[in-house]
Structure 1
Amino acid sequence: MSDPRPTLLAVPDPVPLPAAARQLAFDELDTPLYDTTFVVVDLETTGTSPHGDSITEIGAVKVRGGEVLGEFATLVNPGFAIPPAIVQITGITTAMVYEAPRIEAVLPGFLEFAAGAVLVAHNARFDTAFLKAAAARQDITWPNPQVLCTVKLARRVLTRDEAPSARLGVLAQILGASTTPTHRALDDARATVDVLHALIGRVGNQGVHSLTELLDYLPGVTGTQRAKRTFAGDLPTSPGVYLFRGPSDEVLYIGTAVNLRRRVRNYFTGSETRGRMKEMVALAIRVDHVVCAHGLEAGVRELRLLAAHAPPYNRRSKFPRRGWWLTISDEAFPRLVAVRTPTRTAVGPFGSRADAVDVAATIAEFAGLRTCATRLTRAARHTCLPAVVGGCPAARPAADLDATGYAPAVEAVRDLFTGRSDALLRAMLDRIETHSAAEHFEAAARLRDRTATVVTMLHRTQRLAALARIPELIIALPDGAGGWEFSVIRYGRLAAAGTATRGTPPMAVVDQIVAAAETVIPDLGDAASCEPPPDDTIPPLRGAPPEEVGVIARWLAKPGARIVRTSEGYREPLHGAARWKGWAQLARTAATTRSAEEQYLAER
């Protein structure tokens, strides 16, 4: 029996190895291929499913500039018997791996061995899927290295006449590899090294000399597209918004970036030049940019530019008003209706009309709000009769309800929306308890999921409205380098942004950006006066674009964010949905767990 213990075969290293595990920055991808560190890996497994099967052997070779820097080889105990069909292919038996370490002990060592290098594999999608699945089971964050697949490279470099198949054994023979693949991990990794070097030699004759150029070359990027990388040459490395412009100076596409130069250069590599993006890049004649102080300013400016230009290659331009809102209709016997433009009393935005209608049905059921579409005048009477299943929630046995008797249902919904009362939410929770006590668990679970959605949407709207009502709010967020990113928010809109680097007095920067901040006048709509609302209510959004307020709310919720100063306290309704937020999160977790269990049982 071969020794199952992991082995690290040390080879003198002429160049210092990378010190830490991290994904290569884009500028580092310009490193010449002869100076790029590759870790070529091969796995043997018990089958083809990364979630149902396990790794039985890992073999890896670290190379740079044609020199072998080190090797990593170990058998892995999968924890169950290896299928006979796999034994026949690999020669690895259950007895061979009996005393081998489990993947929990092997994976951290392999990730350390591969840290900072480009990961190479023959059919890389297969090998990386198993490694990612193993990392996920151990709660190890996948380092997301740059990955190169020699199958894809071979299909790009070699013609069908040269290589009718891209199998490793075929390529090793055609390209003169010194190691013959044997379906054992280290042998196959060594053979893949020889194949990689032979393929790199081929592309070198075509002017491909760096990793960036190799990644450009893989998907067949044209010379014209590759030449457009110069568009990014003069862009700064700061955060901002970029605009691709077409032949008539029209805006084709708008996006945001943490590093403008790096992000725009990505559009001229294989990873970004597919489908519509490839078409957009082919049309572009230049790239304009707007430098921003930080990510929040970039996100807000992107929204405003999208609204101004409606660029054809942005998905948002096809659906400029993507959100749906629930509002109370303006009629004698009001109903909940789904609309595109929010009114002063509305909940949203919802991703689809169907989602809005589902929430409307739940609220109407507990409020007694009608769902029938009959047009009723103020002098009319609601005559829907109760139904055994479904039916109009406003139905009464006497089938005789006038506008005055119907009004409390409408007021209950208004109170729910504005946070004056959570009586309807309590009624939903009481019904869930009733179902559970009666052991009607399926009904309880369905109502729990519906109620959690209602709570989530109410809290989202009330949180946005709480931001939109504040005349001035100053937010600070750590920049990760000892400095601060500041944002001045006025009535839910970004009015100014700035940064204070480490060592700079932050409050002096705050005073400067506040002095130069944009003046924002709230749109009071049909409000009768400018008097503030009662303390226990939150008014609806006052003309502030809901998407912009949403971006700001998510920024405020980031870890480390804090309020520097505010003209009045940030507050949500006393009886709003915020107090039920924790319950809704638990409900969603329970629903997700239940769904996963049902799927597991169905698959068995």
Structure 2
Amino acid sequence: MPPSPALLRGEPARFEQVTIDELGTPLADVTFVVVDLETTGGSPKDNAITEIGAVKVRGGVVLGEFQTLVDPGQEIPPYISVLTGITSTMVAAAPRIGAVLPTFLEFARGAVLVAHNAPFDLGFLKAACAENGLAWPPAASVDTAVLARRLLTRDEVPNCKLATLAPYFSATTSPTHRALDDARATVDVLHGLFERLGPLGITSLEELTGLTRQVDPERRRKRHLADAVPHGPGVYLFRGPKDEPLYVGTSNDLRTRVRSYFTSGEQRSRITEMVALTQRIDAIPCAHDLEAAVRELRLIAEHKPRYNRRSRFPERALWVRLTEEPFPRLSVVRRVRPGAGVFLGPFPDRRAADAAVVAVHESLPLRQCTGRLSLRVLGTECALAGMGRCGAPCTGAQSVDEYASIAAVFRAAVASDPRGLVTPLLERVDRLAAEERYEDAAVLRDRVAVLLRAVRRRQRLESLAAVPELVLARPDGAGGWQLSVVRRGRLVAAGCAPQGTSVRATLAGLMATAETPTGPDEEAAASVDETELVLRWMEKPGTRLVELAGTLASPAPGIGAYRAFLARVEVGRVHRDPFTDGRSLGTRARPDRVTAGAGGPRRTPIASPA
């Protein structure tokens, strides 16, 4: 910058004290464009925009509105139409997103973008711009969900969803999952939140963005804990005051991921509490993402860190067991014991296991009494026998061989062919639907889906667990190969062969140092979750099977004939809010309340109840 004329003339420099209002852009002078989208699903990768609604405001005055339907170029799923009211017919004559974006960007030019759960809406808009060769404007943005979490407590609102905040702030428009209505409701929520800013001394845009991005000073002081963490794939462990593992995670770039815990981007309350307790961070570099995922799974199962929610207790998985006795029955158990019967599963919870049991009993007249039956002492038949849902083996009305033929249908379903078990159930679903008993049909349909998913999972696990050894290779993207050695479903060695090195030589070293699983050959050597990780890695495009000992094959016919049925059921099981971005919108369990005081707003931790 050239010197001022006064300095060139030799005059002394003059300094003027600016007012507080001049230190930033007053909120009253900022133009905000509040935007909301409706889409065909929750991710811009596989979904598209169906409607854009936006409201331009400044100083509490509405300057204009923007609304248009958008042809997504794909069918709108039925559950989306039920939620939003937007059907494929409605958007058939609408413009494509490439024609809409220039008009919207012009409408929002020079404004600060506002959205409730901004990563969702702005993520779709950025992806659409990139797809159509348009530059995304370098505009500031405000997320009213984050702002609400900073300013409101759980005593005021139970969560920070738009449907909760709109009535709390007496919004003139109710959210309806239509873009313009939701944008109008967000405007009222924004103004309601702005009223909370005045007593805090926050009057400028810079102070507002600083509030939503504020980092706890205690968290900032701990950034040095990430200094020794290397780049590359691996596992990281946050350790507490007693060196106990607090949290285990994995990443393809350890250093970048660990550093993110000390920025404003991490807003989860339990993670905030975890970082406050952390005294040390350990990093375990891994050869590739599969090894990192497996190590993470094993460490979580071993240490059960208090801040990990996933897979802390793999031993709590449930299985449906057909007992090994003359008149076998079904029971729900937690442990698979070879030779103790036929096991189906695992199931994620008791509800799923019970649904599968009910489905089997709907199809087969297996006994439902819990005691062992004697071949000599005869009893009296129960109500189920009178209803034709049990052959009454307890009375001698059914021989061991006759009962065994019924149990054989379940055994065959688990091993290879579920048709004998599932066909009667699907026929009943059709009958119930024909009788317009749609709710009963839907309940039975969902039970059949739970049963089929369990059969599919069991057969996939068995196929890999039965293989004594196989070697897998995947391209690393840089001309080299990622190598994995798997024995009976367990990852026993992992390594990389960079470009220019011998894959065979690297593999020979891995095989020489690979772990040897212990236990009977017919047992799986790994947990269910680990075997599934290996299966998913093996089934990724580009993975090659290098060596194989034994046979790797899926049972025939398996559940291939029911894939379309399961896909239809899966669509109907989508959460009632399919647009969630995965972040919790609840107020923080222990929020840092923003309070007014000398020198600007202060963060006051709310004390936990004793």
TM-score over 0.5 (shorter chain): yes
SS at match of 2:331: strand
CA contact 1:241–1:257 (8 Å) conserved in 2? yes
In structure 1, the partner of 2:471 is 474
Q: For residue 33 of structure 2, what is the aligned residue in structure 1?
A: 43
Alignment of structure 1 residues 563-602 onto 2, 5 Å: 563-577=545-559, 579-588=560-569, 591=572
| 1:305 and 2:299 aligned | yes
Contact conserved, 2:236 with 2:282, CA < 8 A, in 1?
A: yes
Distance 1:290 1:420, change over 3 A: same
Match of 1:518 among 515, 529, 554: 515
Q: Percent identity, please.
A: 34
Is residue 432–residue 448 contact of structure 1 (8 Å, CA) maintained in 2? Answer: yes
The residue that corresponds to 2:452 in the other structure is 455
Q: Matches of residues 513-552 of structure 1 in structure 2 within 5 Å? A: 513-521=510-518, 523-524=519-520, 541-552=523-534
Contact 1:474 1:487 in 2 (8 A): yes
Q: For 1:265-414, what aligned pairs fall within 5 Å after superposition? A: 265-272=259-266, 274-316=268-310, 319-344=313-338, 345-381=342-378, 383-385=380-382, 387=384, 392-395=389-392, 400-414=397-411
Task: Give the Cα separation in 1 of the matches to 2:327 and 2:300.
Answer: 39
Q: 1:565 to 1:464 in 2, by over 3 A?
A: same
Equivalence map 1:204-283=2 (5 Å)? 218=212, 220-272=214-266, 274-283=268-277
CA contact (8 A) 2:52 2:69 kept: no
> Alpha-carbon deviation of 1:314?
1.9
SS at match of 1:570: coil
Map of 1:555 onto structure 2: 537
Residue-by-residue CA offset, 1:190-236 (whole Å, 9 max, x unaligned)? xx9xxxx9957669xxxxxxxxxx87x74653322211111111211
Letter in 2 for 1:304: R
- Displacement of 1:549: 0.8
* Equivalent pair of 1:384/1:392 in contact (CA under 8 Å): no
Q: Is the 8 A contact 1:55 1:103 kept in 2?
A: no
TM-score normalised by structure 2 residue count: 0.62
Residues 134, 412 of structure 1: alpha-carbon distance in 2 compared, 3 angstrom cutoff: same
- Quote the Cα distance in structure 1 between the aligned partners of 2:103 and 2:543: 37
SS of the equivalent of 1:456 reads: helix
- In structure 2, how many angstroms separate the alpha carbons of the residues matched to 1:550 and 1:352? 18
Task: Check the 8 A contact 1:467/1:570 in 2, yes or no.
Answer: yes
1:106-121 to 2 correspondence within 5 Å? Answer: 106=99, 108-109=101-102, 121=113
Q: Which segment drifts farther, 380-389 or 568-577?
A: 380-389
For 1:304 and 1:552, how far apart are their aligned partners in 2?
Answer: 14
1:104 and 2:104 are equivalent in the alignment: no
Paired letter, 1:588: V
Q: Does 1:490 align with 2:490?
A: no
Distance of aligned partners of 1:514 and 1:360 in 2 relative to their CA distance in 1, 3 Å threshold: same
Q: Which amino acid aligns with 1:229?
A: R
Alpha-carbon offset, residue 592 of structure 1: 5.1
Q: Deviation per CA, 1:276-327, whole angstroms, max 9, x where unpaired? A: 2222211111101110111110111112212322222222576453421111
Q: Closer, same or farther in 2 for the Cα pair 1:397/1:364, shift >3 Å?
A: same
Q: Whole-Å Cα distance in 2 between the matches of residues 41 and 459 of structure 1?
A: 55
Aligned pair count reads: 460
**Structure-2 residue corresponding to 1:9:** none
What secondary structure, in the 3-state scheme, does the structure 2 residue paired with 1:325 have?
strand
Cα displacement (A) at 1:515: 2.9
* CA gap 1:512/1:147 in 2 versus in 1, 3 angstroms: farther
Give the Cα separation in 2 of the matches to 1:422 and 1:50: 41
Name the SS for the 1:315 alignment partner: coil
Secondary structure, in 3 states, of the residue corresponding to 2:242? coil
Q: When the two structures are superposed, what TM-score results if normalisation uses the length of structure 1?
A: 0.63
By how many angstroms is 1:454 displaced?
A: 1.7
Residue identity in the other structure for 1:121: L
CA distance in 1, matches of 2:291, 2:510: 13
C-alpha deviation, 1:443, in angstroms: 5.7
2:116 maps to 1:125: yes
CA separation of 1:449/1:274 partners in 2, compared to 1, >3 Å: closer, same or farther? closer
| SS of 1:321 mapped into structure 2 | helix
Following superposition, the deviation at residue 346 of structure 1 comes to: 1.2
Whole-Å Cα distance in 2 between the matches of residues 51 and 331 of structure 1? 55
Shift of 1:492: 0.8
Counterparts of residues 172-187 of structure 1 (less than 5 Å): none
Q: Could you say if the C-alpha distance between residues 103 and 316 of structure 1 is closer, same or farther in structure 2, counting changes exceeding 3 Å?
A: closer
| RMSD across aligned positions (CA) | 4.9
Q: Which runs of 5+ in 2 are unaligned?
A: 1-29, 41-49, 58-62, 71-93, 152-168, 170-184, 195-201, 578-610
Letter in 1 for 2:475: P
Q: Distance in 2 between matches of 1:247 and 1:571?
A: 49
Which structure has more relative contact order (CA 8 Å, sep 6+)? It is: 2
Q: 1:495 aligns to what SS in structure 2?
A: strand
Q: Deviations over 1:387-427 (max 9, x none)?
A: 59988544589883354442322233222222267432344
